[in-house]
Amino acid sequence: MSTKYSNASIRAPAVAGFFYPQDPAELRECVSELLGAVSVNASLHAPKAFIVPHAGYVYSGSTAASVYATAAQHKATLRRVVLLGPSHRVYLEGTAVPESAAFATPLGIVPVDVELKSRLRDLPGVLESDRPHALEHSLEVQLPFLQLAIGEFTLLPLVLGRASAQEVARILDAVWGDADTLILASSDLSHYHSYREARRIDAQTSAAIMNRRPTLSGEQACGAVAINGLLYSARSKHLDVQELARCNSGDTAGDKDRVVGYGAYALYDAH
pLDDT digits (tens, 9 = 90+) for 22-57: 999 999 999 999 999 999 987 788 999 999 999 999
pLDDT, mean over the chain: 96
Strand 80-86 versus strand 181-186 pairing type: parallel
Whether the per-residue pLDDT at 2 is higher than 80: the answer is no
Q: What is the pLDDT of residue 7?
A: 75
How far is residue 111's CA from residue 105's CA, in Å, rounded to a whole number? 11
Average of per-residue pLDDT across 53-67: 98
Whether the per-residue pLDDT at 3 is higher than 60: the answer is no
* Lowest mean per-residue pLDDT among 5-19, 58-72, 170-184, 217-231: 5-19
pLDDT tens per residue across span 162-209:
999 999 999 999 999 999 999 999 999 999 999 999 999 999 999 999
How far is residue 212's CA from residue 234's CA, in Å, rounded to a whole number? 7
- Report yes or no: 174 and 40 within 8 Å, Cβ to Cβ: no
Whether the per-residue pLDDT at 1 is higher than 60: the answer is no
Q: How far is CA 82 from CA 12, 22, 47, 54, 220, in A?
A: 19, 24, 14, 15, 23
Average of per-residue pLDDT across 55-61: 98
Whether the per-residue pLDDT at 6 is higher than 90: the answer is no
Number of other residues whose CB lies within 10 A of the CB of residue 85: 28
CATH topology of domain 7-268: Protocatechuate 4,5-dioxygenase; Chain B (3.40.830)
Residue among 87, 148, 144, 158 nearest 116 (CA): 158
- Report yes or no: 145 and 171 within 8 Å, Cβ to Cβ: no
